[in-house]
A and B are shown apart, each in its own frame.
Chain A
Amino acid sequence: MPNALLAASLLLISGLPLVGLAAAEPGTGPSPARQLELRALLVQDCGSCHGLSLRGGLGPQLLPEALANKPEEYLVATILHGRPGTPMPPWQHFLSEDEARWIAQLLKRGLQ
């Protein structure tokens, strides 16, 4: 029994990144490991246009002050579907709706 428990916890630890890659259950939000991936994506890849510190670049600033009057739904839709006519691409192939929502909430709250 202790062996089985140990095996189970080892499986849990080693399986964490894999679990992280799978889309989260609706409503539960991304797993901790997936949250780390999303943060890296936000800083490194969204940062290509919006700046690593999200102070803007070719794309607009994404700091909480700049997003204060933008509804969460609007941000989620922009992340998932992009903004036609601008360089903002759709991210729906890489993010579930829950993940886009988690990012939108993080942006409104601030990264720090």
Chain B
Amino acid sequence: MSWFGLVLDGSPRINANVSSGTRDSGLRTRLRFRWIALSGLLLGLAAPISADPLATKLRGTGDLGLIVERAAGSLQRVETSTNSILSRIEGLGDLSHASLVYSRDARFAYVFGRDGGLSKVDLLESTLVKRVVQSGNSIGGAISQDGKLIAVGNYEPGGVRVFDAETLELVADLPATPVNGKPSKVVGLVDAPGNRFVFSLWDANEIWVADMSDPKAPQLTKFTDIGRQPYDALITPDGRYYIAGLFGEDGLALLDLWQLDKGVRRILPGYGKGEQPLPVYKMPHLEGWAMADDKVFLPAIGRHEVLVVDMRSWEEVGRIPVHAQPVFVMARPDGRQVWVNFAFPNNEKVQVIDSLSLQLIHTMEPGKGVLHMEFEPRGEEVWLSVRDLDKVQIYATEDFRLLKELPVDKPSGIFFTDRAHKIGL
């Protein structure tokens, strides 16, 4: 009896019936309630999904993520609470080197494809909302501090285009400095506080800061001769320092966004000390960079090393010899461990560095083609894309146990929604 009563109390629609039935005697009302509750229960048994469409749709997005299937041009929508795949979103074009950013409500993802495609995906509805092909060839993008603008860095034609996050309509076009008659390729595009975008020009050796406070009239600050061939860049989580890695020379270019008047300075100049660098079969990424224990961990280019830099002085404080040339060097969210994956032909392994002792503490061999790593928001688990196995593997970061494998077609980037609230991601 009281059990049925409980069911009644728990259902707002039946409570509505209670108010409409106030003229009935108490007994009849109770009997009717039982009958309604019983039929509701039977209905519930027949269809385990709630009859209320709103109830089935209500959910958060904080434990969701997307995995890029780069060859198929699709995304796997995943959930970190259950370590499972929820659905697949197709039709996104050429997703080689694809990356994405999230809207500030973490409902929508903006996906940047190699073919110049900019796609808006709805994480709740699991749909492709809109797709525009905004250039011939693009490399990545960023979302503005206020969440209203999406900037895309382009190779062809070189420059940055800025779009309305709601409609994907073009808001501003920022063609890059031409070199030999062609606008320079853009790399390392990030968002910065003050509704700014910061990016580097590969061919022109420049760093630009675009203030988008007035989206129709962007204010550009340009820094020239910043070093040869910036290939990627990062911004510190506080949004203060922008650091571009240089392919054409040993060293990195550092810009203090709090003190633009001080200009760009070189850090770690000549870190290779004149040694012949090794051929680079895959460019390292700085986006998923690592800051831990007041130190920055960076991939050395053309060397089997992770460079360690003191964040206050920007001086080198150590080098850690690793398995091969690093691609991603990423700190666990608490900064206690730094995980490293590697370039072709040594991309079968992952190594883990203790950020305090700077010692390698673990080497694992997930399989050929480990392309990306993404930590769950609080760092207890990490997801790895293993391209040649067509799998994403999930490991416990404390004891490196393999917890689960998910089937994903040629997986590359993995992006969880906690990125929505991080500067530079």
Contacts and interface: CB of A to CB of B under 8 A. Distances in A.
A9 interface: no
Interface in A14-63: 43-45, 47-49, 51-53, 55-58
Interface residues of A, number: 18
B148 to A, nearest CB: 29
Contacts of B369: 44
A50 B202 CA distance: 15
Interface string B273-314: 000000111110000000000000000000000000000000
Contacts of A56: 137, 155-156
B283 A47 contact: no
Interface residues of B, number: 29
Contacts of B96: 47-48, 51-53, 57
B185 A82 contact: no
B114 A55 contact: yes
Contacts of A90: 279
Interface string B137-157: 101000000000000000110
A90 B278 CA distance: 10
B345 interface: yes
A52 B279 contact: no
B77 interface: no
A89 B280 CA distance: 6
B156 A51 contact: no
B247 A53 contact: no
A3 to B, nearest CB: 36
A90 B94 CA distance: 26
A35 B173 CA distance: 43
B137 A57 contact: yes
Contact of B97 (A57, A82, A87): A57
Interface string A87-112: 10110001000000000000000000
Contact of A89 (B95, B139, B185, B281): B281
A45 B187 CA distance: 20
Provide the main secondary structure of the chain B interface: loop
A52 B409 CA distance: 14
Contacts of B156: 56
A57 B155 contact: yes
A52 B94 contact: yes
Q: Which of B97, B247, B369, B387 has the most CB of A within 10 A?
A: B97
A89 B139 CA distance: 21
Contacts of A89: 279-281
Contact of A51 (B137, B280, B282): B137
Interface in B363-377: 369
Q: Which of A45, A47, A52, A56 has the most CB of B within 10 A?
A: A52
Contacts of B137: 51, 55-57
B114 A45 contact: no
Contact of A43 (B71, B114, B187, B229): B71
B115 interface: yes
Nearest to B278: A89
Contacts of A87: 229, 231, 247, 280, 283
Q: Which of A44, A45, A90 has the most CB of B within 10 A?
A: A44
A52 B114 contact: yes
B410 to A, nearest CB: 8
A85 B185 CA distance: 17
A58 B94 CA distance: 15
A55 B133 CA distance: 14
A56 B97 CA distance: 11
A85 to B, nearest CB: 8
Contacts of B271: none
A81 to B, nearest CB: 10
A65 to B, nearest CB: 14
Top 9 closest pairs, chain A to chain B, by CB? A89-B279, A52-B96, A45-B344, A48-B282, A51-B114, A53-B94, A51-B96, A47-B96, A89-B281
Interface of B: 70-71, 94-97, 114-115, 136-137, 139, 155-156, 185, 187, 202, 229, 231, 247, 279-283, 344-345, 369, 387, 410
Given A44-B369, A48-B96, A51-B115, 8 more contacts: A48-B281, A48-B282, A51-B96, A53-B115, A55-B94, A57-B96, A58-B155, A58-B185
Interface of A: 43-45, 47-49, 51-53, 55-58, 82, 87, 89-90, 94
24 contacts: A44-B369, A44-B410, A45-B282, A47-B96, A48-B282, A48-B344, A51-B96, A51-B115, A51-B137, A52-B94, A52-B96, A53-B96, A53-B114, A53-B115, A55-B94, A56-B155, A57-B96, A57-B137, A58-B202, A58-B283, A82-B279, A87-B229, A87-B280, A90-B279
